[in-house]
Structure 1
Amino acid sequence: MKRWGITIPLTGVPLAAHEEMVRELPDLGYTDAWSAETAGHDAFTPLVLASQWAPQLRLGTAIVPVYTRGPGLLAMSAATVAELAPGRFVLGIGASSPVIVKNWNAAEFEAPFARSRDTLRFLRSALAGEKVTEQYESFSVSKFRLERPADPPPSIMLAALRPGMLRLAAKEADGAITNWLAASDVPKVRAEIGPDVELAARIFVCPTEDKNAARGLGRMLISSYLTVPVYAAFHEWLGRGEALAPMHEAWAAGDRQKANQVIPDEVVDDLIVHGSLESCREQVQSYVDNGLTTPIIALLPTGEDPFAHVRGLAPRS
């Protein structure tokens, strides 16, 4: 099935004001609505509302950090949404970043591969309704059993950027979730997981023909995200290490303004979809053409009506 997703809630729009738009999404051709979790809304609450507003949509978290909730609470939250959207909920989990985990949530960011793998294995058992007593490498659980396991249990996808985590996602999860990549990067990521594994990616879309405005916003986002070590390593692997080296040098020196200025236009244009609505749709489709299963549009603000942009970015048959 061809998938076309949108990130909810939209930037700057109150959560309760999304109802009319979310109800409209299936008729527009959207198949999926995915949430995110940084320092705004939590990942689960928007999907609880969407499950009632648009029962046709598949719903997913992209992603919930594996450190910021205990394993049992994470299982309970996932089972709750899965009960509200039976067969239509995907739990996307991942390591997140030291800023979110340690600086904002007072948890230790240690052994991200092991913690992601162990949480995935725990969730497989817990969401199936099993009683779990297990000493994992990164944590232990004793006699946990969900009181209300969902039937069917939700799919579990894993956030993955580089080969090790991508291969883990392909082997033990129901798919991989990635972001901050160009359409031309998709084949390299796809090669690590094989042809049959679902690959989802959040794609940042700024529907404006004002290139300077789009690139200005894109540069701020790129310098904020790609200076995080896991993303820096990801783009080194993808082949952008040399192009992004001046940004990293300026950022390390504390010169945020210069870090933005030295990001090449071609890097911004690769990673931020911008242009007319028609052009943006075509660029998102190019990700699919290159092997992406599920594009998840993340609409960037332009000062124009975001609901009109959501309608304009809907897939064309």
Structure 2
Amino acid sequence: MSSQGVSRWGITLPLTGVPLATHRELVRELPDLGYTDVWTAETAGTDAFTPLALVAEWAPTLRLGTAIVPVFTRGPGLLAMSAATIAELAPGRFALGIGTSSPAIVEGWNGGEFTEPFKRTRDTLRFLRAALAGEKVSETYDTFTVSKFRLERPPAAPPEIMLAALRPGMLRLAAREADGAITNWLAAADVPKVRAEIGPDAELVARIFVCPTEDAEAARGLGRLLISSYLTVPVYAAFHDWLGRGDLLRPMHEAWAAGDRRGANAAIPDTVVDDLIVHGSPEACRERIQSYVDAGLTTPAIAVLPTGADPADLVRALAPKR
């Protein structure tokens, strides 16, 4: 661990395969274990807000965050209401992370239109700033119009608003107008490049995929499945081009485009898997996570991957040493 110790140490909940209601005991342990944050995601499992409402009751000192809520799948007013509800339950301890998500989720799963994602995110951020401050909003933005919206229960402490950001344009928007940036699928060595775009003071959150097992081949096998599923999405492909992995990942992209899913997985080099998936003993995993912090990450949001062991025990094993 670094000589400065741990400042923030977050976990992604709910855990894979664990019923939401049965998280109570673990959540109540998290502060004593050294965890400071609970972050949620929103794809096709739980929504991002409901688990945080439970955590606010079960462990009222933890900071809560969404990483992330898509800006296309809710109307602006509903998004503001959902955020205000969690901010009321956890005053001063909630960070609302918003982002574009992906065409598969927005269009394929939710029947929306994935158009002008940068502008939609910027417009949603500006609307939320006003709405969560209790203002009455009537505004024509580039991507939507709001008429006479005012929250009936504006939070006493408006939440921080953070942007999901992968490349310079969105990272710079986060630095200019948000309270920080949330990123995903990067190695510790990539953190300085991302940090350079947002400056030294903005908060940088990253979801880090952690597979606490010393069976390296099993961890790499799972890692390859995840990498081929995510990094073939255009926005992530462009992100890794920018990070400098374009040549290493080109064989994967070519096999995937040809419909050869098995070949795409096999084409991912071990070095890429080992960079993007933290695996090894719990102690080795903790050291790898800390290396992200040492490189400039403010807040790791650990996502525990299944190993066959009890997921709650893995969370306990990954707690920071104090």
> Residue by residue, what CA displacement relative to the aligned partner does 1:105-131 show, whole Å, maximum 9, x if unpaired?
000000000000000000000000000
State the AA in 2 paired with 1:183: A
Aligned to 2:14: 9
Is structure 2 residue 58 aligned with structure 1 residue 49?
no
Cα distance between partner residues in 1 of 2:249 and 2:264: 9
Aligned to 2:233: 228
SS in 2 for 1:2: coil
Which one of the candidate residues 75, 90, 100 is aligned to 2:80? 75
1:258 positional shift: 0.4
> Residue by residue, what CA displacement relative to the aligned partner does 1:62-95 show, whole Å, maximum 9, x if unpaired?
0000000000000000000000000001100000
Which one of the candidate residues 302, 306, 309 is aligned to 1:297? 302
State the AA in 2 paired with 1:191: A
Cα distance between partner residues in 2 of 1:28 and 1:118: 39
Aligned to 2:276: 271
1:305 positional shift: 1.1
Cα distance between partner residues in 1 of 2:182 and 2:240: 16
SS in 1 for 2:296: coil
Cα distance between partner residues in 2 of 1:197 and 1:88: 17
Unaligned runs of 5+ in 1: none
State the AA in 1 paired with 2:73: T
Q: How does 1:134-149 map to 2 (within 5 A)?
A: 134-149=139-154
Aligned to 1:200: 205
Cα distance between partner residues in 2 of 1:205 and 1:179: 13
1:312 positional shift: 0.8
> Residue by residue, what CA displacement relative to the aligned partner does 1:154-181 show, whole Å, maximum 9, x if unpaired?
1100000000000000000000000000
Cα distance between partner residues in 2 of 1:6 and 1:179: 14
Unaligned runs of 5+ in 2: 1-5
Q: How does 1:15-164 map to 2 (within 5 A)?
A: 15-164=20-169
Is structure 2 residue 316 aligned with structure 1 residue 316?
no
State the AA in 2 paired with 1:217: L
Q: How does 1:209-248 map to 2 (within 5 A)?
A: 209-248=214-253
What is the TM-score of this pair, normalised by structure 2?
0.98
Aligned to 1:187: 192
SS in 1 for 2:44: coil
> Residue by residue, what CA displacement relative to the aligned partner does 1:135-156 show, whole Å, maximum 9, x if unpaired?
0001110000000000111110
SS in 2 for 1:50: helix
SS in 1 for 2:114: coil
Cα distance between partner residues in 2 of 1:312 and 1:50: 20
SS in 1 for 2:45: coil
Cα distance between partner residues in 2 of 1:273 and 1:220: 15
1:307 positional shift: 1.0
Cα distance between partner residues in 1 of 2:15 and 2:283: 20
Q: How does 1:248-267 map to 2 (within 5 A)?
A: 248-267=253-272
SS in 1 for 2:205: strand
Cα distance between partner residues in 2 of 1:168 and 1:77: 23
State the AA in 1 paired with 2:224: R
SS in 2 for 1:288: helix
Provide the aligned length of Structure 1 versus Structure 2.
317
Cα distance between partner residues in 2 of 1:302 and 1:50: 25
Cα distance between partner residues in 2 of 1:245 and 1:114: 30
Cα distance between partner residues in 1 of 2:85 and 2:157: 12
What is the TM-score of this pair, normalised by structure 1?
1.00
Cα distance between partner residues in 2 of 1:127 and 1:191: 29
